[in-house]
Each structure stands twice: as C-alpha cells, then as structure tokens.
Structure 1
Amino acid sequence: MFRCTDCSARWLTAPENRVGSAPRFLVSFSRISPHFRPPRHRMTATDHRTDMAVRFQVWDQVTEQAYAV
C-alpha cells in the first residue's frame, strides 16, 4: 500500500475517501461546472468577462446561503 508522507495529502489515503469519493465528486462537478462555462464562441471578450462576473456573484450568494444553513 502506498504510504503518504506529506501531511497535506494524507486525506487521499483515508479509508472514507477511497470508495465512492470519485463518483460523488463527479456528480457534484457535473452539476456545478456548466455554471462556469458560458458559450464563449458566441461572446465578445467584454461580454464574457461581464457574464463571468455575474456568475461568480451568483456562486458567492449560493455558497454563502449554504454556509448559513
């Protein structure tokens, strides 16, 4: 078994993080990632920056509410 000597990476070898962690991550990631991927090929750079700023403001509001609960 691989033995991690780096304290910051020990969570990788913890038993609760081995089984099922990748599918759980991918389910969450697949729901969140489209929020940060606008259709750039149809946008100007200015529109893209403006749209991303709005999207990050929405993300900040959502995550603040999640922490409050």
Structure 2
Amino acid sequence: MANRSDPLSLRLPDELREALQQAANQAGRSLNAEIRMRLEASLVPDFTRPADWELGELRQEIHGLKVRVVALESKA
C-alpha cells in the first residue's frame, strides 16, 4: 500500500476533539498523530476490545465450565 498523506476532513463533537487534544498533549503528540495512532490500533485484533471485556468473557466461560464439571460429577 502506498504511503499517502491526503488531507481528510472530519467532523468531531467539541468534547471528543478536546479529549483527543488533551490525550495528544499528554503523550507529546499532535492531534493528527493521536487520531492516527488510535485508528491504527483499532484495526489490530488485540486492540479491538478493551481488556476488561475479554476478562469478563473469560470469567463467564470459567463459570460455565465449573457448572458443567459439577453436573458431570453429580452424574458419576
């Protein structure tokens, strides 16, 4: 893929723009770099969901497995 830097016009609510600008300032990045970093990260499978969502899913799966183990033990 070619490395293009075509300008992109984007409408953002003021609150979102301010939050992104604040995050960019704290990280020492420009607003453009902050938005680009966040967009790129959203396309990487490991970053598509917050970690706590995955932990919640794992907890649910563990609970389900425990229920199955108890059911199997009661049949034995």
Task: Please give the TM-score of this superposition, normalised by the length of structure 2.
Answer: 0.33
Task: Please give the TM-score of this superposition, normalised by the length of structure 1.
Answer: 0.36
Which structure: larger Rg? 2
